[in-house]
Amino acid sequence: MVVYYYHSFVQIIVTGCFGFIGFNFINYLFSNYSNDFKVLGVDNLNNNCSSINKKLFNNKNFKHVNLDINDIDQLESKNIDIIINFAAQSHVDNSIFNPKEFAHTNVQGVISLLNYTKSNKIKKFIHMSTDEVFGSSSVNKFKENDKFNPASPYSASKASAEHFCKAFRKTYDQNILILRPCNNYGIFQQPEKLIPFSILNTIKGGNIEIYGEGKNVRNWIHVNDTSDAIIKLISESPENEEFNISTDYFLDNLSLAEKIINFSNLPKEKITFVKDRPGHDFRYATDNTKIKKMGWKPKYDFDESLVEIIDWYKSNTKWWSAEYEKTLKNRKKRFTLDT
């Protein structure tokens, strides 16, 4: 059951609405709660995939504004109940070579959104962070209040953004939720990320490239399960809290590559080991007890979903081809610290 505010529907600003998680979220939202929300989507369409996503989406309760979050003050809006911030630079490899860009979007951009929320007296700000703010743990799972230990410019920028969120809570008495999802997977994920990049390499006749020995472990969650968790938290309306959004499904990168090879009916020789990236965290893991106690739990099976994802990328070459070529060019920078 979705919570209602002062009018017959919840009015939301969704930033990064045509990125991977943001786009899946608005699709999930309107597929399941079509009459409960009105959404103003903010996205600067900074890549080809986002531009295509805009063309694919149409709903009478949705409007898009082409705007960078650092320029959010240019947006005139009234009676907004919630801002959900998906906008971010999110690829660790890219952050190693361009940390300033990550600080600009992930830190300064969040400050701009927080100021906008305060100035317009918006009731709630939901910030999408990451499990990577805690750093690596070989055995344990991090709880919401554990110490941060970011290891990459990306995770450092997300940790910094969280500190500003907490400061705005205390200084300006703002209602801010911080959500820390683990590694999301699903369709519409940009080619630079591990799962789609690996799939696309095989589609193009190449090999899956695995950093180091492939022993690094990640915790995986379907993007629709993440969307469902966000809806749950909107419905339950907790205030000024942090929530880990994760599953109990862990997989090392080599095993992931082997699954893609197996489901694609390709030989194991299609896996190639390449030089590890600098500062590569070994294992991310967060405790999801808190959100499970609210009645949420993940529903999607990884293997079943992976088969569907492989088929989707095979059937949607026009969606990913331009960004894939750009990713290949950027990929050459990732094996050296020289910029």
Query: Which stretches of the chain are DSSP H helices?
Result: 20-32, 48-56, 92-97, 99-103, 109-119, 153-172, 194-203, 223-236, 253-263, 289-292, 302-315, 317-331
Q: What value does the CA radius of gyration of the chain take, rounded to a whole number of Å? A: 19
Is the per-residue pLDDT at 122 higher than 80? yes
132 catalytic, yes or no? yes
Reported as a single tens digit per residue, the pLDDT across 188-230 is 999 999 999 999 999 999 999 999 999 999 999 999 999 999 9
Looking at residue 136, its pLDDT comes to: 95
Reported as a single tens digit per residue, the pLDDT across 65-93 is 999 999 999 998 888 999 999 999 877 77
144 catalytic, yes or no? no
Question: Helices then strands (H, E): number in the chain?
Answer: 12, 12
CA-CA distance, 151 to 39, in Å (whole number)? 35
CA-CA distance, 103 to 100, in Å (whole number)? 5
User: Of these residues, 43, 132, 225, 228, which one is catalytic?
Assistant: 132
Is the per-residue pLDDT at 8 higher than 80? no
Looking at residue 182, its pLDDT comes to: 98
User: Of these residues, 36, 81, 131, 228, which one is catalytic?
Assistant: 131
Q: Amino acid identity of 282? A: F
Residue 218, CA distances (Å) to 46, 247, 284, 287, 312 in order: 27, 11, 6, 14, 23
User: At a CB cut-off of 8 Å and minimum separation 6, what does 290 contact?
Assistant: 143, 144, 243, 244
Is the per-residue pLDDT at 313 higher than 50? yes
User: Of these residues, 28, 43, 81, 154, which one is catalytic?
Assistant: 154
DSSP bridge pairs for 243: 179
Percent of the chain with pLDDT over 90: 83
185 catalytic, yes or no? no
Between residues 13 and 336, the one the model is more confident about? 13
Looking at residue 95, its pLDDT comes to: 65
Say what the pTM is.
0.94
Mean pLDDT over 27-35 rounds to 95
First to last CA, the chain: 50
